[in-house]
Amino acid sequence: MLGLYISIPLGLVMKAMPVPRFRLAFSLLCGLGIQFFIFSECIPLSKFGIDAIFPLAQVFVAYTIVSLCPRKRVGWTVTMFSMGYLSLSHIIRMFVDYGGWTITVVTVLMIQTVFLSTFAWDYQDGATAEGRTKNKKAVADLPSLLEFVSAGTCFTQSLAGPCSNFVDFSDYVWCRNDFAKIPAGSNVKACGRALLTALAWTGVQLVLLKFRVLERMSDPEGSMQSAGIFMRVKKWHYLE
């Protein structure tokens, strides 16, 4: 729960950075940092934060596939890999925590699977003029490894979603298209509204559930059940 709240002001800080590459590094470091903080000691097999490595490995392998696979087959290939990686993680969880409510990186992998599959199909569509015409989010050129990993592990979507398209993330980072037209100061107002609304919903649930929300916020086994509070007020990842 704390990680979800933190992502709101972090988005404001990221938007204020003047250098795009600083934004990419900030997105990557914050995303990995939050994942490490939440998942480093969630299940018996997780030691020294090794669980937090699994989502990053999925992104790196997907980028390798995109780089080497024939472009007309990259959509299916990445989708099948991502789904297989996710399915294997679910199966492993059944062995180490069968029937439990413990939070694991499977939560992150589910979000990343959607992002990676979407990117792969957008990249495949970007290979032809017809594909770029039909798909407004098509990716024409392969992004750098830093930009791809930053988008895949971005703190604004990795914990609970929803996923953004790679084109939207890239446009935001480099201030292109609609993101170049955001009025100065509007991000501060959006951040304040989102944070206050999230806190208000938390207060409502504290009253209705007799403070059980506070117990779940500090309990790894139940904190994701409280994530719905945040999702109700998370209008846009990057605080337009």
Q: Does residue 180 or residue 132 have the better pLDDT?
A: 132
Domain count, the chain: 1
Please check whether residue 8 lies inside any domain of the structure: yes
71: containing domain: 2-181
Residue 73 pLDDT grade (very low, low, confident, very high; cuts 50, 70, 90): very high
Most confident of 80-84, 105-109, 170-174: 80-84
| pLDDT reported for residue 239 | 42
The answer on pLDDT for 92 being more than 60 is yes
Is 199 part of a structural domain of the chain?
no
Does 201 fall in a domain?
no
Q: What is the pLDDT of residue 231?
A: 43
Asked, for residue 14, whether it belongs to a domain, the answer is yes
Mean pLDDT of 211-216: 54
pLDDT 10s digits, 171-184: 888 888 887 777 66
Residue 122 forms part of a structural domain: yes
In a domain, 221, yes or no: no
Region 129-137: what's the mean pLDDT? Answer: 90
Q: Across all residues in the chain, what is the average pLDDT? A: 78
pLDDT in tens, 201-210: 777 777 776 5
Residue 21 lies in a domain: yes
The answer to the question of residue 108 being in a domain is: yes
Secondary structure, 3-state, the chain: CHHHHHHHHHHHHHHHCCCHHHHHHHHHHHHHHHHHHHHCCCCCCCCCCHHHHHHHHHHHHHHHHHHHCCHHHHHHHHHHHHHHHHHHHHHHHHHHCCCCCCCCCHHHHHHHHHHHHHHHHHHHHCCCHHHHHHCCCCCCCCCCHHHHHHHHCCCCCCCCCCCCCHHHHHHHHCCCHHHHHCCCCHHHHHHHHHHHHHHHHHHHHHHHCCCHHHHHHCCCCCHHHHHHHHHCCCCCCCCC
